[in-house]
Amino acid sequence: MNESTGQPAASPQLIRVIFLCATGMSSSLIKNKVESLAASRGVPVEMEPIPSMSFDTAASANADVVLLGPQVRLQLPAVTATASRFGLPVEAIGFREYGLVDAPAILDQIIRLNDERREAATRSEPGSESGA
């Protein structure tokens, strides 16, 4: 319940993450840890690990954030070029965070990128202060 309005609190929106890695296999541990932590925090997150070579515009159309594993970080420019057509933020997970399976840091990165995407979308809407 929202105490200021007396209305039921809005459910957080699902954050859909495309998680690019070399083969889509080694990232399952990170996916499971991050999704579990997110659920415990009440933040719905769905991560889809896919091989970076399978990333395309169809995948981009169904995502909010794109993360790259550090082993494919050299593909960041090409992935960013594709994802930018959909207004999607793209970043690589740090070597340390990936290697330690630092779910809190990775979840914070996902939330930050999603917030930045939503703010950018709001600024570009007709009638917004900067878009008016």
Residue 11 has a pLDDT of 60
Verify whether residue 21 is a known catalytic residue.
Answer: yes
The span from the CA of 76 to the CA of 81, in Å, is: 9
More confident of the two residues 27 and 17: 17
- C-beta of residue 19 within 8 angstroms of C-beta of residue 50: yes
% pLDDT > 70, the chain: 82
Measure CA 8 to chain center. 26
4-18, 24-38, 42-56, 89-103: which range is least confident on average?
A: 4-18
Predicted model pTM: 0.83
- C-beta of residue 34 within 8 angstroms of C-beta of residue 104: no
Residue 96 has a pLDDT of 96
Catalytic residue among 18, 21, 63, 106: 21
